[in-house]
């Protein structure tokens, strides 16, 4: 018997800001967080301490900190999905020492449901299913007449233009 896979929000739908380009917030689900607590083992602590004594950067501690941030981030995404969100906005990280050698890392943000913004058209498309495309007769151009604003539908959307059929000779 295997455990059910944990659902998480796609990391591409996270931001440190409170807006997301081309999307609208449809629902706010609240604050979500992911927490991890790390305690280096004796070997890593000795290696990290030696590197800091020599004035260098401690790659051991950096690697451990990155893993802790990643784990906290993933737990936050799992929490966001659990409350019904598909994105987390306003993402931040905090860290603090709990006891000597034991550090808590937390990622938090606001879980939201994003929906794509509806495109706004400034000009009607050249054809629509209701008005099939008509070929422009040779020697003429649909751009000869000045462009006017398209007629509007009852819902405020522009109606499609159709090129007039060729004249019969």
Residuewise pLDDT in 10s, the chain (169 residues): 556 667 899 999 999 999 999 999 999 999 999 999 988 654 455 555 555 555 667 777 788 889 999 999 999 999 999 999 999 999 999 999 888 878 899 999 999 999 999 876 666 555 555 555 555 566 665 555 545 555 555 555 554 544 555 666 6
* From-to residues of CATH 3.30.110.70 in the chain: 11-116
Tokens of 59: 């790659």
pLDDT of residue 45: 52
pLDDT of residue 28: 96
**Structural domain 11-116, CATH architecture:** 2-Layer Sandwich (3.30)
pLDDT of residue 42: 46
In angstroms, the Cα distances linking 26 to 8, 37, 80, 86 are: 19, 34, 15, 11
**Overall pTM surpassing 0.75 (yes/no):** no
Sheet with 14-15: list strands edge to edge: 14-15, 87-99, 102-116, 23-38
């Amino acid at each position: 018997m295997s455990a059910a896979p944990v659902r998480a929000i796609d990391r591409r739908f996270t931001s440190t800001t409170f807006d997301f380009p081309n999307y609208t917030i449809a629902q706010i689900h609240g604050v979500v967080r992911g927490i991890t607590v790390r305690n280096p083992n004796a070997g890593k602590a000795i290696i990290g301490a030696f590197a800091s004594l020599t004035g260098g950067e401690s790659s051991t501690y950096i690697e451990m900190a990155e893993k802790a941030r990643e784990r906290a981030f993933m737990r936050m995404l799992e929490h966001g999905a659990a409350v019904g969100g598909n994105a987390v906005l306003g993402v931040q990280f905090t860290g603090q020492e709990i006891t000597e050698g034991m550090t808590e890392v937390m990622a938090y943000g606001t879980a939201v449901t994003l929906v794509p913004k509806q495109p706004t058209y400034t000009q009607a498309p050249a054809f629509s299913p209701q008005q099939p495309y008509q070929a422009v007769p040779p020697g003429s151009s649909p751009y000869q007449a000045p462009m006017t604003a398209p007629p509007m539908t009852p819902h405020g959307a522009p109606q499609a233009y159709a090129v007039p059929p060729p004249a019969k000779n």
